[in-house]
Structure 1
């Protein structure tokens, strides 16, 4: 039996949480906030027309920027409300409801692999406990040869950086480099955020 993710548990406790989350980012966008930092990093890694998976895409801000930059984007999120918001606010990319621990896009009609998988917004810390290795393994399976997964999340959220790095290795991913921010500041032992660039081992 499938274990609900921590995000789904949060939503079950507060059914309005997803709607609040969508409105939060709509308001920030309307106020002119810079919401594309993660996407700019991903865009810099790619030639035009690359294939990108936005894993845990939420209401679509990262994937939408990348689609606007000329990439072919597929976004997946476990939350139907967030996917509906992405489809409404950012038509163009393929937005799909799905659990990253069960990611199998060929069965959803998405046959080709990806040049980059981006997993931003603390998504890794909202997974169901114990599914982290499986999620990372499925990322690896969906990467094209030479493809990379870029994962970012903060400290103090129940998923230690050391555990994440061990899980990535178990999943067959190699750490190419790590930063402490999406604007490429160096990672240090006392960093409170990690952005890891991973490739197939």
Structure 2
């Protein structure tokens, strides 16, 4: 999907009365001061978190998405990089992977991407990810295994960014992991 088409999708959701900032609302409930938006796309979540006063860095593999994010918010830090081997000097209170980031990482690199994100979480911070549950995509068990191998345990799981309870019939999962 092109950066423009991606942004237009969220504009349509907002115009129809939807909340385009559910991920930011969710993350803010944990009161972080700093956030790494891993797989930030065009910066929708990162820009909203910064608007709310958080220190935010956004990173994405797609150069066009990062270019659009930079154009929309040049005052923020945007890093073009691969989640499989990204190394930033900063550690964050929260690392968020919103909007199907993990399923879009190639299958052979998903574990490495989770480990990279986990390395960027400050001592008592959280790793927060949301993705669709559909055939051929990672399961919550897969994701939990990758998080556990990075030293993280599941603190909470929901079916939506609005914190609806997770059920076996859920088509989406939002997971919050931290170090035990």
Choose which of 109, 123, 129 in structure 2 pairs with 1:145.
Answer: 123
Do the aligned residues in 2 keep the contact of 1:54 with 1:117 (CA within 8 Å)?
yes
Matching of residue 21 in structure 1 with residue 2 in structure 2: no
Matching of residue 126 in structure 1 with residue 111 in structure 2: no
In our comparison, the structure showing a higher alpha carbon Rg is 1
Matching of residue 45 in structure 1 with residue 30 in structure 2: yes
Do the aligned residues in 1 keep the contact of 2:7 with 2:42 (CA within 8 Å)?
no
Q: Provide TM-score, normalisation by structure 1.
A: 0.82
Matching of residue 158 in structure 1 with residue 137 in structure 2: yes
Q: Which runs of 5+ in 1 are unaligned?
A: 1-16, 106-110
* RMSD of aligned alpha carbons: 1.8
Do the aligned residues in 1 keep the contact of 2:14 with 2:20 (CA within 8 Å)?
no
Give secondary structure in 1 for the equivalent of 2:84: helix
**Count of residues in correspondence between the two structures:** 178
- 1:13 aligns with none
Q: Label 1:84 to 1:190 Cα distance change in 2 as closer, same or farther (>3 A).
A: same
Give secondary structure in 2 for the equivalent of 1:162: helix
Q: Which runs of 5+ in 2 are unaligned?
A: none
Choose which of 146, 152, 163 in structure 2 pairs with 1:167.
Answer: 146
Map 1:60-99 → 2, pairs under 5 A: 60-99=43-82
Structure 1 position 21, deviation (Å)? 3.1
Map 1:52-63 → 2, pairs under 5 A: 52-63=35-46
Q: Provide TM-score, normalisation by structure 2.
A: 0.91
- 2:157 aligns with 178
Q: Label 1:39 to 1:116 Cα distance change in 2 as closer, same or farther (>3 A).
A: same
Distance 1:153 1:103 in 2: 21
Cα deviation digits, residues 95-143 of structure 1 (max 9, x gap): 11111111111xxxxx221000010010100001121111111112111
